[in-house]
């Protein structure tokens, strides 16, 4: 009987050592993965649309989330728990991106560090506002000009303007041009200005004003200034001569409202010497 107990105890010792070794492997070593470890990153399921609305727009958005399953394993393929994984995301499109808890937007880079959970896994979420595709802005309507002999340093001349609307995706084409003729008190004084006004465009995040003149800046209007929103309705801007045409004319294609619901970029997940690169497009 005593011999049987001795044999059983001898058999238990290797089993206990194996269990202890497994627990050590699962716990990992330090905060970064040891040498020859591997990281894998895969998209987990399809994007989740939160609280759907009938037609989500830039002023009434919802949110979508893509989950990425990240796993870290040592050189023997055993999962590593409690390991720091560093994420770097570089985006070419997307607004108010929540990158695993860090906030940013294209074209900026975003970084964050997360730890693996049980069995060497962690779920990494990327969230962004969700808008309907193809809802394009129009250029501003009800554009007016009011010339004045005071308020600026414009010379006697006829000035031409075009105005475009912008959102996070792009810029509209321009209407017009509209014009105004400045007549100062005397032709040699440079005190003129032109007050512009236009109807606010729902969903616009800014407006570009383009200008030219008959004498000094003939030809198609070039870029003058950007008016950032939120904006009143009507939107106003006074050309005092502070800016002069120094850029290209308005675009020939309306690029607003296109791809607003997409998040596009690449990301890296690293821990120690382990590295995994994955694409982001949802």
238-253 per-position pLDDT tens digit: 999 999 998 899 999 8
Which pLDDT tens digit goes with each residue over 202-255? 989 899 999 999 999 998 899 999 999 989 999 999 999 999 998 899 999 888
Residues of 158-167 as b/e, b for ≥16 C-beta within 10 angstroms? ebbbbbbbbb
The CA–CA distances, whole Å, from 120 to 77, 125, 126, 202, 268 equal: 10, 17, 20, 47, 17
Count the Cβ atoms, other than its own, within 10 Å of residue 3: 7
Is the model's pTM score more than 0.85?
Answer: no
Domains observed in the chain: 2-133+260-281 (2.60.40), 144-239 (no CATH)
Q: For residue range 44-65, what is the model confidence (pLDDT) as tens digits?
A: 988 888 876 655 666 677 888 9
Going by the DSSP 8-state scheme, the letter that residue 47 receives in this structure is E
Please report where in the chains the tokens 């590593």 appear, as a residue: 80
């Amino acid at each position: 009987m005593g011999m049987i107990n001795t044999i059983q105890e001898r058999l238990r010792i290797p089993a206990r050592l194996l269990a202890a070794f497994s627990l050590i492997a699962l716990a990992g070593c330090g905060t970064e993965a040891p040498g020859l470890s591997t990281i894998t990153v895969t998209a987990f399921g399809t994007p989740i649309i939160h609280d759907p609305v009938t037609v989500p727009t830039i002023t009434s958005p919802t949110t979508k989330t893509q989950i990425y399953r990240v796993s870290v394993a040592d050189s023997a393929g055993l999962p590593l728990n409690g390991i720091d994984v560093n994420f770097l995301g570089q985006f070419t499109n997307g607004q108010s991106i929540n990158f695993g808890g860090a906030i940013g937007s294209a074209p900026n880079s975003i970084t964050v560090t997360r730890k693996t959970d049980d069995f060497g896994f962690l779920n990494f979420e990327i969230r962004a506002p969700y808008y309907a595709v193809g809802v394009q802005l129009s250029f501003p309507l009800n554009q007016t000009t009011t010339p004045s002999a005071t308020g600026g340093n414009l010379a006697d001349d006829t000035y031409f303007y075009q105005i475009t609307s912008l959102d996070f995706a792009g810029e509209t084409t321009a209407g017009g041009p509209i014009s105004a003729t400045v007549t100062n008190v005397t032709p040699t004084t440079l005190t003129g200005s032109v007050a512009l006004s236009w109807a606010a465009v729902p969903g616009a995040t800014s407006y570009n004003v383009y200008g030219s003149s008959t004498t000094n800046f003939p030809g198609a209007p070039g870029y003058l200034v950007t008016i950032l929103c939120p904006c009143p309705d009507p939107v106003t801007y006074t050309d005092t001569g502070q800016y002069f045409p120094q850029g290209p004319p308005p675009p020939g294609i309306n690029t607003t409202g296109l791809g607003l619901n997409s998040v596009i970029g690449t990301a890296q997940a690293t821990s120690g010497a382990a590295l995994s690169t994955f694409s982001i497009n949802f």
